[in-house]
Structure 1
């Protein structure tokens, strides 16, 4: 199996939400960096594991920090 970042933020859906998986387990849908951080916190990750711009920790599919505005 190929190496994969522990956190994957999937491409935006039509409503702007992005599915989030941690180590292959879906943890929810985020609509902003703040919501993403909260999802990760609820999934048990600490502050050191939430460096959103670290490509070794987070794989952004569809572009980093892209959130559809209403």
Structure 2
């Protein structure tokens, strides 16, 4: 499953979706594959930010450290 998600993320020829819609699908699929309550949000946030940078929506990614006890 994770290999399919990685291919979906990196291969724009698999779909003609708007990048923002595709980001939502990626986040949803990640939550289904990686359903750990503790780390899912942080992983999803980082993935969303890096995907937006890769698609040209942002010039750089500033990822602020999140305290261990923080929740989504």
Larger Rg: 2
Give 1 or 2: higher strand fraction.
1
TM-score above 0.5:
no
Task: Using structure 1 for the length normalisation, give the TM-score.
Answer: 0.39
| Greater RCO, CA 8 A, separation 6+ | 1
